[in-house]
Each structure stands twice: as C-alpha cells, then as structure tokens.
Amino acid sequence: MAPTPSPAARRLVVIPARDEAPTVEGLVRGAARSACCEVLVVSDASSDGTAAAARRGGARVIELPLQLGAWGATQAGLRYALRHGFDTVVTLDADGQHDPACLPQLVATQARTGADVAIGTYPERLSRAKRLAWRWFRALTGLAIEDLTSGLRVYGPRAVRLLARSEATLLDYQDVGVLLMLRRHGLRVAEVPATMYPRGAGHSRVFASWLVVARYMAQTTVLCLARVGHPRLPPVDAAPEATP
C-alpha cells in the first residue's frame, strides 16, 4: 500500500473570486506560502482576467461558466477537492480582507481541537446593523457562533463530504444554511479569533444595498424558520463515498 501523504499534501486552499484580478495573484502566492499547500481559485464567471491572474500566481483554476455566487463557487471547490484526493479545505475571501498569514493558526486549531469546521472570526469588524442581524439569526436558530458570514474557514474531511452534497447546492450563502446543515449532522464548529483588513477592491456581497439586505434578511429568516425543530441526522462518516 502507498504511504499516506502528509496532511499538507491533502489540504487545499479554495478561493472563490469574482472579478478580483488586481488582488488575486498576490493572494494566491501569500496563501500558498502561508498554508504550505496547493491553492485553487474558483472564478465565479469573472470577466476581468481573474483566472489568468490566478494562474500567474501558481494556482489551479476552475472557471464557472455562469455566476453561482460565493457559496456556489466554494462548493465547486469542495467537489474539486474530493475528486482530487484532498480531504481538508481552507477557504478565504478574494477581496483582500483576510490575511493569509493567519492560515497556519486556523489550520492548527482545526487539527488540534478535532473540530469539523474552524471559522476565523473578527467580531469587531461587524457594524451595528450586522450585529443586530446576527443576533436575530442566532435567536432564531440557537446557533452559538459569533460571526455567521466569515468566509475564512477550515473544513475538515467530514465537513467537505457533507457540504459537497447536492442538499447544500441550493444554499445561496455560506452562512446560516451551511451552519445549520453542519449542526443537523452533528458536526462540530470552532471559532478562532483572526485579523482582518478592511476590504480591498471588492465590496460586501450581502450588505451592498438596502434592497439586497432586505432580501437577504427575508430569505435567511424563512430558511431559519423552516429549519425549526428539524430532526438531527446521524453524522456523516469520513469514509469515501462515490465520486460526487
């Protein structure tokens, strides 16, 4: 039997990116250096050469032909990881608000605590409106997580398997729906304080305009209400299933 590859060889950094050509190359280099593993950029139907910039940085690239949103792109990365034998996936946002330097700590925490998902949070970055919104969702769902939307995460093998499934495909955001799904299947989530910068070139996809906010709040509230009293399911096992 072949020797088991090292954890770093089975780890993949996934960066969902839409029109982030100016920053993505540097980010890819930083992430590869910091996490000591391969980097995959999922270009979410970008039109500004994001894919080429990411390749210049040394990343593997997949290009979605139509826009699927941040979660759809992340899930494409999870499915890629499964097909290519990676079992741990690290995600970070491409807009420059996550410092790749904090990846080793996040990865180490996930490995040490045995949590299925480690989330890098920085609660101070939240505006008052966001804090209020998160409190509302926490009250509805009973989730005990400070920063619901943070895209800085480490997904362990069980989480990668679970979230690559088609049940997670219709989620529009990586936040409440994903966290509820993890809880429903008995997966553990740990939070790690991390440093974040103000956004670089990009802007928040969720908190872009009042209309978008209203839609997001209504959608997510419905999602929360529909999940009240959802029965728990047996946890996914880490054994390989059929190729997704």
Partner 1 sequence: MTPYLTSALLGILIAGGILLLVRRDHLHGNFAVWWLAFASAALLLGLVPGSVDWLGRTFGVAYPPMLVAALGLSALLLKLLVLDIDVTRRERRVRRLLQKVAILEAEMRDLRAELDALKDSRPARTPSSPVTPLPASRADEARRAAV
Positions that interact with partner 1 (CB under 8 A): 42, 60-66, 68, 72, 75-76, 79-80, 83, 166, 169-170
Q: Of 68 and 94, which CB lies nearer to partner 1 in the complex structure?
A: 68
Q: Of 166 and 209, which CB lies nearer to partner 1 in the complex structure?
A: 166
**Structure letter (DSSP) for residue 148:** S
User: How many other C-beta atoms can be found within 10 angstroms of the C-beta atom of residue 215?
Assistant: 13
Expressed in angstroms, the distance from the first to the final Cα of the chain is 25
> In the complex, what is the shortest distance from the CB of residue 6 to partner 1, in angstroms, rounded to a whole number?
20
> In the complex, what is the shortest distance from the CB of residue 217 to partner 1, in angstroms, rounded to a whole number?
21
Sheet holding 88-91, edge to edge: 60-64, 38-44, 11-17, 88-91, 153-155, 117-121, 189-193
Q: Of 1 and 144, which CB lies nearer to partner 1 in the complex structure?
A: 1
> In the complex, what is the shortest distance from the CB of residue 38 to partner 1, in angstroms, rounded to a whole number?
12
Q: Of 102 and 160, which CB lies nearer to partner 1 in the complex structure?
A: 160
Q: Is 219 helix (H, G, I), strand (E, B) or coil?
A: helix
> In the complex, what is the shortest distance from the CB of residue 244 to partner 1, in angstroms, rounded to a whole number?
9
User: How many other C-beta atoms can be found within 10 angstroms of the C-beta atom of residue 166?
Assistant: 8
- Find, among 124, 127, 115, 181, the residue nearest to 153 by Cα: 115
> In the complex, what is the shortest distance from the CB of residue 115 to partner 1, in angstroms, rounded to a whole number?
26
Q: Of 170 and 211, which CB lies nearer to partner 1 in the complex structure?
A: 170
